């Protein structure tokens, strides 16, 4: 079961439209409608993990496989939904990374990017974005530092990518809990939302994830990225019901 967390990008309550403009769930189905490319030869839907030999990783996995990475010390099983993307300290430096030249290679510089295929906005002049997130909870010893971040970005009509949601610590310092706009990202999967992203005057968009986690035990797990028309963005798309805080089964 995944619980949902309401993060407002604009003031007011949120509703959603029926039609998904974009979605990606990292499952092994090669027929997914939207492509996925990760920096340095991580191919679409190939479940590979690379690290520095001490347990760091970057790739597609699932709850059943996580005991096999990082010595079994990470746990994303609470509310996990099939396959998902996960990474820990991807710049750590592996003499024999998988694939060669990928994250963990000597001299590789963050940030790393996950870039998804361009999709049509279908006339929507405002969209909502959602993503499921988890982070291995190290109890009282949290791991993220002030320079760590995971940004979710959008590009419109091939333009520059801009942030629509960010994961990081509050303020400055070291070894703190990551959060999104004041709501903690924990080892229990939760859905985070950004509402009312302005797409007026544009016809296409693309989503990108920007990742910079450069110290030991700093990790993130990502699943179920979705973009839908915001309520009223296109009248013909219609509206679904009120979509505040909700739970997924």
pLDDT of residue 72: 64
Is there a contact between 12 and 89 (Cβ–Cβ < 8 Å)? Answer: no
- Band of residue 10 on the pLDDT scale cut at 50, 70, 90: very low
Output 160 or 25, whichever has higher pLDDT: 160
CA distances from 119 to 2, 122, 231 (A): 26, 9, 19
Q: Residue 20: left (phi > 0), alpha (psi -120 to 50), or beta?
A: beta
148-192 pLDDT, tens digit each:
899 999 999 999 999 999 999 988 878 788 999 999 999 899 999
Lowest mean pLDDT across 17-21, 42-46, 70-74: 42-46
The mean pLDDT of 65-72, rounded to a whole number, is 64
86-139 pLDDT, tens digit each:
888 776 544 444 444 455 444 455 688 888 889 999 999 999 999 999 998 776
Q: What is the CATH number of the domain that holds 199?
A: 2.60.120.200
- The rounded distance, in Å, linking the Cα atoms of 21 and 67 is 34
Structural domain including 139 reads 2-248
Output 2 or 203, whichever has higher pLDDT: 203
pLDDT of residue 18: 56
Residue 195 corresponds to which tokens in the numbers above? Answer: 């509402």
Burial zone of 201 (CB within 10 Å; 0-12 exposed, 13-18 middle, 19+ buried)? exposed
Q: Is 67 strand, coil or helix?
A: helix
Work out how many domains the chain is built from and give that number: 1
């Amino acid at each position: 079961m995944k619980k949902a967390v309401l993060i407002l990008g604009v003031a007011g309550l949120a509703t959603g439209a029926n039609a998904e403009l974009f979605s990606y769930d990292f499952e092994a189905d090669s027929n997914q409608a939207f492509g996925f490319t990760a920096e340095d030869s991580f191919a679409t839907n190939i479940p590979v993990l690379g690290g520095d030999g001490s347990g760091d990783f970057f790739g597609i996995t699932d709850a059943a496989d996580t005991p096999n990475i990082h010595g079994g010390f990470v746990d994303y099983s609470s509310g996990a939904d099939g396959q998902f993307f996960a990474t820990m300290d991807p710049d750590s430096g592996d003499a024999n990374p998988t694939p060669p030249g990928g994250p963990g290679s000597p001299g590789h510089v963050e940030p790393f990017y996950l870039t998804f295929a361009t999709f049509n906005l279908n006339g929507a002049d405002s969209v909502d974005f959602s993503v499921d997130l988890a982070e291995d909870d190290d109890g009282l010893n949290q791991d993220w530092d002030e320079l760590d971040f995971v940004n979710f970005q959008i590009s419109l009509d091939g333009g520059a990518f801009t942030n629509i949601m960010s994961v990081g610590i509050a303020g400055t310092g070291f070894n703190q809990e990551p959060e999104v706009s004041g709501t903690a990202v924990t080892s229990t999967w939760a859905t985070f939302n950004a509402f009312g992203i302005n797409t007026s005057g544009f016809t296409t968009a693309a989503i990108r994830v920007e990742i910079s986690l450069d110290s030991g035990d700093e990790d993130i797990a990502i699943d179920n990225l979705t973009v839908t028309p915001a309520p009223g963005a296109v009248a013909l798309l219609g509206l679904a019901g009120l979509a505040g805080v909700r739970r997924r089964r």
